[in-house]
Amino acid sequence: MPLRPSREVFITAAITGAGDTTGRSDKVPVTPAQIADAAIEAAEAGAAIAHLHVRDPETGAPARDVALYRAAVERIAASGVDVILNLTAGAGGDLVLGPPDAPLPVDAAGTDMAPASERLAHVAALRPEICTLDCGTMNFGEGDYVMTNTPAMLQAMAAMIRDLGVRPEIEIFDTGHLVLAKWLKEQGLIDDPVVVQLCMGIPWGAPDDIPSLSAMLANLPPDWTFSAFSIGRNQLPYAAMAVLAGGNIRVGLEDNIWLERGVLATNADLVTRARTVAEGMGSRILSPAEVRERLRLERRW
């Protein structure tokens, strides 16, 4: 992997995610107020971007209710703290098959397959500066769950996001996803500047080792802006890896609940540690205003 350290870096805080982490850490935010407050604290610690999922306030399960997103976003806006909002558009692509001896019908309780318009309903309603686009299909976990994003679905969602004037953050979990992202760009469905998140170390996607990251970078167009992260114990080491590779940082409780062995983290803790790592490497942390200028974003909240 070529050594090309970033001298100016922005940090994304992935606040809560959709994983089953709430039972393992009481610091994982669940309600819109908790999610908003965690995003505000992360911004005050140095995150330029807050990446938001929402959860059912009663159960902690993943949700895609527009009202929950609105409550979190409005609370962040009312705080007066400047942070770029990045709302997930990944919900609605969850396919859970039946067991190996009876894959059909699908598991109705676990499956959440929605039309493109429903997957983007909160984006259309709230017009964040950024929303994610999971650029591919892959297995998740050890059961029968498949993250499902067909080429046709990606075309439809990319066109809707473009027409809404929202910047997509392209989530790349494996090398083929990068091929799909280039294909969407060639069709005029993704505007410049292209923003990419390299999601490493997630079973069964690209491993978080150096050769796999190098393969991703070797095929990444040089004018695309990227961040990179890994999950679990490698999240904070990957803050350094991303900077060394010439990219930006993502940390947060969506991907890792630990600050160090035996110590549960908050989102602000992880941002603070990542900032310390980057600044210790000689990099300057970019403000939300500087990131808006770099990514050609229009502040709406």
pLDDT bin (cut points 50, 70, 90) of residue 67 is: very high
Residue 188 clears pLDDT 70, i.e. is over it: yes
Radius of gyration of the chain (CA): 18
Cβ contact 209:239 at 8 Å: no
How do beta strands 93-96 and 112-113 pair? Answer: antiparallel
Q: Residue range 169-184: average pLDDT?
A: 97
Domains and CATH numbers, the chain: 8-295 (3.20.20.70)
Quick: pLDDT tens for 10-56.
999 999 999 999 999 999 999 999 999 999 999 999 999 999 999 99
Q: Residue range 49-73: average pLDDT?
A: 97
Residues 301 and 80: their CA atoms lie apart, in Å, by 10
pLDDT for residue 1: 64
**pTM exceeds 0.85, yes or no:** yes
Q: Among 282, 271, 257, which residue's Cα sits nearest to residue 21?
A: 257
